[in-house]
Chains A and B, each alone.
Chain A
Amino acid sequence: QITLKESGPILVKPTQTLTLTCSFSGFSLRTRGVGVGWIRQPPGKALEWLALIYWDDDKRYSPSLRSRLTITKDISKNQVVLTMTNMDPVDTATYYCVYRSNYYDSSGTLDYWGQGILVTVSS
């Protein structure tokens, strides 16, 4: 059974750096093709892809947010960490951790999602 769970601060101040951790089970990030990533959703708005990291340490970032994002993995802990710098109130959103089973697939499917964590940016 694959599960993912997000953790981190629920309130950050403008200009601060956000650090979110995804703790997962039921699969290994050593497995060829596997990736873990982050999606966010501002209240009442659409989903937005942020970043993905794959088994071979290949990292992909949203072009519009690339300069602010860093994604890393700790295979020994079954965790993936996302940092986002210079937070702004417009970054207020639910942040989801996602599992991608096959880098080589033809559709970009995000197979499993965590429950999400609502992060509010406010002074």
Chain B
Amino acid sequence: SSELTQDPAVSVALGQTVRITCQGDNLRSYYASWYQQKPGQAPVVVIYGKNNRPSGIPDRFSGSSSGSTASLTITGAQAEDEADYYCNSRDTSGNVVFGGGTKLTVL
């Protein structure tokens, strides 16, 4: 079955750079999308496709991919970036799969 694996928790000092990763065989064929979820709110797309940001998402968010690993990088993390981050992708059957999420703490 399709699975995406994320580290449960990551921390970063204010203003520093952090990378959140997502691993899965699907990612050899498809890109990951990344979602930010703050407490009590619905997830919001921050990166999709090869490295695309929806309107309104700061350019400190970027995405990359290598082999079976996709990464979300936040360059110059801000306090408001503290949130849960989820990756997702698709498989060859057109199904969707999510990672288990990463809790980002900004110190």
Contacts and interface: CB of A to CB of B under 8 A. Distances in A.
Interface in A92-123: 96, 103, 105-111, 113-116
B98 A46 contact: yes
Given A52-B96, A63-B1, A107 B48 contact: yes
B62 interface: no
Interface residues of A, number: 25
Bin the interface of chain B by size: 20 to 34
A113 B43 contact: yes
A107 B98 contact: no
A49 interface: yes
Given A46-B100, A46-B101, A47-B43, A109 B94 contact: no
Given A47-B86, A63-B1, A110 B42 contact: no
Contacts of B35: 47, 110
Contacts, number: 76
B42 A49 contact: no
B84 to A, nearest CB: 9
Nearest to B101: A46
Contact of B42 (A103, A107, A111, A115): A115
Given A49-B88, A96-B42, A113-B44, A108 B100 contact: no
A84 to B, nearest CB: 17
Nearest to A49: B96
Contact of B95 (A39, A48, A63, A107): A63
B48 to A, nearest CB: 4
Interface of B: 1, 30-33, 35, 37, 42-45, 48-49, 54, 86, 88-90, 93-101
Interface of A: 37, 39, 46-49, 52, 58, 60-63, 96, 103, 105-111, 113-116
